[in-house]
Structure 1
Amino acid sequence: MSDSQHLTPNNVTPTMVLSDTDANVMEVPEFPARNGPQRLVAAATPQPKRRQKVKLEPGHSPLDWARLKSSGKNLRGVTELKRYTLDEVREHRTQDDAWTVLNGKVYNMSAYVNFHPGGVKDVMRIAGRDGTKLFMMTHSWVNYEFMLDACLVGFLTAE
């Protein structure tokens, strides 16, 4: 067989050989080593639970949320910002009336519930309570103050 017959797409097996200037083959160390401590630690570390993806209904994308926020519609459900106790926030824990506290600010998430990428169930975990700890554990990089600015109803106050 000629060299051109060996180089057809069906017969080509890609290989890579490292060599120095004297054409000596070099052994390249593998990192992390197959039985090294880094791999052993990685194998023993519990991996996070895979998240469940939720299919959002048509009209509930992040762009649709941005459009709704800028529409001028009252998403707060209140006429003025006030101070609320945690007991008052607890009264709002249904899907149609879902409030939460994030870092001392009270938000009416009722309009946002169906837009949440994790689904309604995830948002309802913090409805009617201070959701700061759970939110920070799962969404610390999210700018909720901008995302929920149209939903701010007030500030948490001591009982």
Structure 2
Amino acid sequence: MANNAIPNSSNLTPTMTLSDTDANTTDVPEFPSRNGPQRLVAAATKQPKRRQKVILEPGHSPLDWARLKSSGQDLRGVPQLGRFTLSEIKEHRTENDAWTALNGKVYNMTSYVKFHPGGVKDIMRIAGRDGTKLFMLTHSWVNFEFMLDECLVGFLVPE
């Protein structure tokens, strides 16, 4: 009598079948195994919170910002560069008048607010204050000096 019994599944090692261009197949153990410790740890690890997508208004893409920057339009709103304290910057914290300090330079971001990829709400978090720390935590790779060069209004000085 032939033994047609199914082998005990707990003794089986999960495998994948790989094939090459010559149609040769090879059974290779799957890694990490389906119920192995690596997958269990990864499944139990808290995942970062997903960002909410922000839909920008038409005409407010990064290319539109580059076009506006190079248009020659006054984005500074001041006749010349100046020196500003944090208390002076604090007076400019609305969506229609938003200034921030980044690495000792003061920027009038009012023109840029609606172009920010994270939306108005995110950029308003640094309006009216020194946003260097928050900016570096979230956008350390971004060259803000180039991106906001036409918005530079001056330099941050101590009170």
How far 1:30 moved relative to its partner? 2.9
Give the aligned partner of residue 67 of structure 1. Answer: 67
Give the direction of change, closer, same or farther, for the CA distance of 1:130–1:32 in structure 2 (3 Å limit): farther
* Alpha-carbon distance in structure 1 between the residues aligned to 2:96 and 2:47: 35
Give the aligned partner of residue 45 of structure 1. Answer: 45
After superposition, the C-alpha distances for 1:58-97 in whole angstroms (9 at most, x for unaligned) are 1111111111100111101111112211111111000010
Counterpart of 1:156, as a letter, is L
Counterpart of 1:55, as a letter, is I
Give the aligned partner of residue 154 of structure 1. Answer: 154
Give the direction of change, closer, same or farther, for the CA distance of 1:36–1:109 in structure 2 (3 Å limit): same
Give the aligned partner of residue 132 of structure 2. Answer: 132
* 1:1-159 superposed matches below 5 A: 17-18=17-18, 27-159=27-159
**What is the percentage of aligned positions where both structures have the same residue?**
80
* Alpha-carbon distance in structure 1 between the residues aligned to 2:147 and 2:101: 14
Which deviates more, 140-149 or 108-117?
A: 140-149
Counterpart of 1:131, as a letter, is G
Specify the SS of the correspondent of 2:72. Answer: coil
CA contact (8 A) 2:17 2:27 kept: no
Any stretches of 5+ residues in structure 2 without a counterpart?
A: 1-15
Counterpart of 1:93, as a letter, is R
Which deviates more, 42-51 or 105-114?
A: 42-51
* Alpha-carbon distance in structure 2 between the residues aligned to 1:37 and 1:76: 57
More strand by share: 2
* Alpha-carbon distance in structure 1 between the residues aligned to 2:44 and 2:130: 34
Specify the SS of the correspondent of 1:28. Answer: strand
Specify the SS of the correspondent of 1:57. Answer: coil
Counterpart of 1:92, as a letter, is H
Give the direction of change, closer, same or farther, for the CA distance of 1:61–1:35 in structure 2 (3 Å limit): same
Aligned residue pairs, count: 142
CA-atom RMSD, angstroms?
2.4
Counterpart of 1:122, as a letter, is D
